[in-house]
């Protein structure tokens, strides 16, 4: 038979004190003696008491919860980012809950509606970027929000924390060009995404600086479906379209491309050099060495939470937050290969 939820009255009866005393002790109010507070907390823990956060939020006006909306938490990049967000939020006594959108505009809209209906204090979102309408939905509802990892350049009212994607794209392409790879396949994300546009600009800038033109056949758009990168690489190898370097929009795409090449007996790094983006290796021991661009997920997460809390706690303050975190090449020798 199921028991019932322990109440303040239950603790009061056990302790022989008033409900008000129990309530104030559990809130660490100074008018309750420290020894009494500790005794009450011990009894509450023994009885399995769990406070009613909903009631507390009604009194304070804050739920102390943040919604984190991302495209795919199964992608290690987002998994790492969410973990860092949670760690930072916890330090400020906030709880998060995560909703996946699968890069789907309708699911993103639904995620925002759910978050608002749960009375969250704010939202951190990596937008799908089919349009800015879902961002305006948050704005119309007066919910503080910060974009993480992507931005709407034409919407200056939206605060964001991103990494320097253009510099990252430049560094990735230059890394391969400096090794002698003059035909670099770029496996990019859909162009609606701001980071894809900016990484492409960096990729182009590195070629222009080297005095090289880019063959349009070497820039491929990769969808969100698993296996898309593998198919693109296999098709190019089958058609004998020449390339010796690969720059992938993220590490997951890079590993998929690496897998496709290895299935066909291609040697890495002897024949092909590959560089990804996000530096997942820094957090996970993956047995496939990969050079990558560090996007500083930890710093991005920390600043995104801090900015959101600033907006939550100072709703009337007019301040624009546009933060760009630096990027850098992380070179791993086994993934590199000079091409003469």
Q: Is the pLDDT of residue 58 over 60?
A: no
What average pLDDT does range 270-293 have in this prediction?
Answer: 91
Region of poorest pLDDT, from 93-102, 130-139, 186-195, 282-291: 282-291
Mean pLDDT of the chain: 91
- pLDDT score recorded for residue 333: 67
Which tops the pLDDT comparison, 241 or 57? 241
In three-state form (DSSP H/G/I as H, E/B as E, the rest C), the secondary structure along the chain is: CCCCCCCHHHHHHHHCCCHHHHHHHHCCCCCCCHHHHHHHHHHHHHHCCCCCHHHHHHHHCCCCEEEEEECCCCCHHHHHHHHHHHHHHHHCCCEEEEEECCCCHHHHHHHHHHHHHCCCCEEEECCCCCCCHHHHHHHHCCCCEEEECCCCCCCCCCCEEEECHHHHHHHHHHHHHCCCCCCEEEEECCCCCHHHHHHHHHHHHHHHHCCCCCCHHHEEECCCCCCHHHHHHHHHHHCCCCCCEEEECCHHHHHHHHHHHHHCCCCCCCCCEEEEECCHHHCCCCCCCCEEEECCHHHHHHHHHHHHHHHHHCCCCCCCCEEEECCEEECCHHHCCCCC
pLDDT band at 339 (very low <50, low <70, confident <90, very high): low
User: pLDDT tens for residues 149-171?
Assistant: 999 999 989 999 999 999 999 99
- pLDDT score recorded for residue 1: 44
Q: Which domains does the chain have, with CATH numbers?
A: 8-51 (1.10.260), 63-163+297-325 (3.40.50.2300), 165-295+329-335 (3.40.50.2300)
User: pLDDT tens for residues 207-258?
Assistant: 999 999 999 999 999 987 778 899 999 999 888 889 999 999 999 999 999 9
Q: Is the pLDDT of residue 329 over 90?
A: yes
């Amino acid at each position: 038979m199921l028991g019932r939820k322990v109440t303040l009255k239950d603790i009061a009866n056990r302790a022989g004190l008033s409900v008000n005393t129990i309530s104030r002790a559990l809130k660490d109010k100074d008018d309750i003696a420290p020894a009494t507070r500790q005794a009450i907390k011990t009894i509450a823990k023994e009885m399995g008491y769990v406070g009613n956060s909903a009631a507390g939020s009604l009194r304070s006006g804050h739920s102390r919860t943040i919604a984190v909306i991302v495209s795919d938490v199964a992608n290690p990049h987002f998994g790492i980012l969410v973990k860092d967000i949670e760690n930072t939020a916890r330090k400020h006594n906030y709880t998060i809950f995560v909703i996946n959108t699968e890069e789907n505009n309708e699911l993103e809209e639904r995620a925002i509606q759910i978050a608002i209906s749960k009375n969250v204090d704010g939202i951190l979102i990596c937008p799908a970027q089919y349009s800015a309408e879902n961002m305006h939905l948050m704005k119309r509802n007066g919910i503080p929000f910060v974009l993480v990892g992507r931005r709407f350049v034409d919407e200056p009212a939206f605060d964001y924390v991103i990494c320097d994607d253009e510099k990252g794209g430049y560094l990735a392409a230059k890394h391969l060009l400096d090794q002698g790879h003059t035909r670099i396949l770029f496996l990019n994300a859909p162009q609606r995404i701001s980071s894809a546009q900016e990484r492409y600009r960096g990729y182009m800038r590195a070629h222009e600086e080297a005095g090289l033109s880019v063959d349009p056949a070497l820039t491929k758009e990769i969808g969100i479906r698993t296996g898309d990168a593998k198919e693109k690489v296999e098709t190019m190898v089958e058609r004998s379209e020449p390339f010796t370097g690969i720059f992938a929009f993220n590490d997951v795409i890079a590993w998929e491309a690496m897998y496709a090449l290895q299935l066909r007996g291609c040697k890495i790094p002897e024949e092909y050099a590959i560089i990804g983006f996000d530096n997942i290796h820094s957090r996970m021991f993956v047995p496939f060495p990969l050079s990558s661009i560090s996007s500083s997920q930890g710093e991005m997460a920390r600043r995104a939470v801090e900015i959101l809390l600033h907006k939550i706690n100072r709703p009337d303050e007019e301040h624009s937050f546009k933060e760009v975190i630096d990027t850098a090449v992380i070179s791993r020798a086994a993934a590199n290969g000079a091409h003469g």
